[in-house]
């Protein structure tokens, strides 16, 4: 007998029919002789509808009350799924995050899990019950309800799998696995049989929406085997593990991309020793996330620093820097909108020099200008014009042979 944690996202439980279908997936694991813990999200657009209700009352609602409101979405799903399982003749019990022993830090809206008391869940499993847990939520030391932020149900599932020492964590979604890139944009995108934690973490951080980065990080730290698979089709998904045992001949494993990127350039900073740290500490204090950073000297000899931010944060970044203009001592601020970030990811880059050169050559041949670059051991990110994003992804996908079936991959 094994212990399996299953997670069903909002689209996978978006209707009564889909909840019934999820119940059959749960029962299939039980019939294999496994103990099962299920983590669910709110149904479909429930969370968006609850946010809309709040906005009709207040333009700036209390974060505590928002957590109280939003956690009701998952509570609806856990009750309905348990009813579906019981109607099919299987004993099941629903637990909210706090009933399941999930403890969080005291941060409303984006809390991190600090501990999970597993005693109650373990007792219920020992009684042969299916345990259905509300994702996205927990309780603080002060006995306050807290939510885990975007992707919180993924994190709940992986954290429970780690705490319970589960044999596996299955993430059921509306896609059949992790693809080489987003198949909605690139028709030749191919589902991967396996991918490493590090590669998945990079892809998730760079815009791939299949798994939340925090969940992948948790899985990596606690060695939890993950499988991303379809909630609708009976097929194998993508295994996320320590080191991908399949498709080893791929130097680049995937391509991630995101639009609505902007570049901000601070020109004429002088030679103040602490100007750089002051700029970015000031932005950080105002909760502005900076991505790629490049320091350079313009043709006029003026020292400058450029950094990328989400387009929605551009004006806020400019306003913040303007308020501190005297302290920072720069000459002017320039910015450019309408950009996108395209990134290639693959652990094979570590032992294969020249991947960056290949990437830049491919883009140059397509007359695509690279405006900014960022690298790590297993990824290269470029900032380009948003209008050229899809063409860049399609060309790179073909150039690195991601559309080809892998030779010698294990089934």
Instruction: Give the pLDDT confidence score for residue 60 in this predicted structure.
Output: 92
Summarised one tens digit per residue, pLDDT across range 78-103 is 999 999 999 999 999 999 999 999 99
Instruction: Take residue 313 and report the two structure tokens written for it.
Output: 């944060």
The Cα–Cα gap between 212 and 230 comes to 17
Question: Residue 52 above 70 pLDDT?
Answer: yes
Contact by Cβ (8 Å): 262, 314: yes
For the whole model, what pTM was predicted? Answer: 0.85
From 293, 47, 256, 31, select the one nearest 153 (Cα to Cα): 47
Tokens 């020109």 -> residue? 267
Using CB atoms within 10 Å of the CB of residue 401, give its burial: 0 to 12 exposed, 13 to 18 middle, 19+ buried: middle
Q: What was the pLDDT predicted at 34? A: 97
The CATH architecture that domain 255-399 belongs to is: 2-Layer Sandwich (3.30)
The DSSP letter of residue 2 is -
**Residues 329-357: what's their mean pLDDT?**
91
Residues 11, 7: Cα–Cα separation, whole Å = 12
pLDDT of residue 247: 53
CB 27, CB 85: distance < 8 Å = yes
Q: Which of 158-162, 270-274, 320-324, 327-331 has the highest mean pLDDT?
A: 158-162
**pLDDT value of position 407:** 36
Length of the chain: 411
Task: List all residues 6 or more positions away from 375 whose beta carbon is below 8 Å from its beta carbon.
Answer: 356, 381
pLDDT confidence of residue 270: 65
Percentage of the chain surpassing pLDDT 70? 94
Region 19-41: mean pLDDT is 97
What is the predicted pLDDT for the residue at 297? 63
- Predicted confidence at residue 150, as pLDDT, reads 83
Q: How many helices (H) and strands (E) does the chain have?
A: 12, 18
Strand partners, 102: 116
pLDDT of residue 284: 92
Give me the CATH topology for the region 3-174: Carbamate kinase (3.40.1160)
The pLDDT tens digits for 356-392 are 999 999 999 999 999 999 999 999 999 999 999 999 9
pLDDT at 302 over 70: no
104 and 125 in contact (C-beta within 8 Å)? no
Query: What pLDDT digit, counting tens, does each position of 239-273 carry?
Result: 998 876 555 567 899 999 999 999 999 988 765 55
Question: Using one digit for the tens of pLDDT, what is the confidence trace for 126-171?
Answer: 999 999 999 999 999 999 999 998 889 999 999 999 999 999 999 9
C-beta of residue 64 within 8 angstroms of C-beta of residue 111: no
State yes or no: pLDDT of 41 exceeds 90.
yes
Average pLDDT, the chain: 91
Q: What pLDDT is recorded for position 408?
A: 35
Non-local CB neighbours of 230 within 8 Å, separated by 6+ positions: 172, 173, 174, 175, 176, 177, 237
Domain segments of the chain as ranges: 3-174, 255-399
DSSP H helices, 254-365, are 275-285, 314-323, 325-328, 355-365
Taking the mean position of all CA atoms in its chain, how far away is CA 16? 27
Question: 191, 239 in Cβ contact below 8 A?
Answer: no
Where would I find the beta strands (DSSP E) of 24-74?
35-40
Contact 226, 6 (CB under 8 A): no
Are 3-174 and 255-399 the same fold in CATH? no
Rounded mean pLDDT, 175-186: 93
The enclosing H or E element of 185 equals none
- What are the tokens at 228? 């991303």
Provide the Cα torsion 359, 360, 363, 365; round to 10°: -110
- Which stretch of DSSP H or E encloses residue 219? helix 213-222
DSSP code, position 148: -
């Amino acid at each position: 007998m094994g212990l399996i944690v299953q997670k069903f996202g909002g689209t996978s439980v978006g209707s009564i029919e889909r909840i019934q279908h999820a119940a059959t997936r749960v029962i299939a694991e039980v019939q294999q002789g496994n103990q099962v813990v299920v983590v669910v999200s709110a149904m479909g657009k429930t969370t968006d509808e609850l946010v809309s209700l709040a906005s009709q009352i207040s333009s700036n609602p209390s974060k505590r009350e928002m957590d109280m409101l939003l956690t009701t979405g998952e509570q609806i799903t856990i009750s309905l799924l348990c009813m579906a399982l019981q109607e099919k003749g299987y004993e099941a019990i629903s637990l909210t995050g706090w009933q399941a022993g999930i403890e969080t830090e005291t941060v409303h809206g984006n809390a991190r899990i600090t501990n999970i008391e597993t005693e109650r869940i373990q007792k219920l499993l020992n009684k042969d019950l299916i345990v259905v847990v509300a994702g996205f939520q927990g309780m603080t030391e002060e006995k306050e309800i807290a939510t885990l932020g975007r992707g919180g149900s993924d994190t709940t599932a992986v954290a429970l799998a780690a705490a319970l020492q589960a044999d596996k964590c299955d993430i059921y979604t509306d896609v059949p696995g992790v693809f080489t890139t987003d198949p909605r944009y690139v028709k030749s995108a191919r589902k991967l049989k396996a991918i490493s934690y590090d590669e998945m973490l990079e892809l998730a951080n760079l815009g791939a929406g299949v798994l939340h980065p925090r969940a992948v990080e948790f899985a990596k730290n606690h060695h939890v085997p993950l499988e991303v698979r379809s909630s609708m089709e009976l097929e194998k998904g993508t295994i996320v593990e320590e080191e991908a045992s399949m498709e080893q001949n791929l130097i680049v494993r995937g391509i991630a991309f995101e639009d609505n990127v902007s570049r901000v350039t601070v020109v004429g900073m002088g030679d103040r020793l602490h100007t750089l740290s002051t700029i970015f500490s000031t932005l950080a204090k105002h909760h502005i996330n900076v991505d790629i950073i490049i320091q350079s000297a313009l043709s006029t000899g003026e020292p400058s620093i450029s950094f990328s931010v989400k387009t929605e944060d551009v004006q806020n970044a400019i306003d913040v820097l303007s308020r501190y203009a005297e302290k920072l001592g720069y000459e002017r601020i320039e910015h450019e909108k309408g950009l996108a970030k395209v990134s290639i990811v693959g652990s094979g880059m570590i032992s294969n020099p020249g991947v960056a050169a290949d990437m830049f050559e491919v883009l140059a041949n397509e007359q695509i200008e690279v405006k900014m670059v960022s690298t790590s051991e297993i990824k290269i990110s470029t900032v380009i014009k948003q209008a050229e994003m899809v063409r860049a992804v399609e060309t790179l996908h073909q150039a690195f042979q991601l559309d080809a079936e892998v030779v010698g991959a294990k089934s």
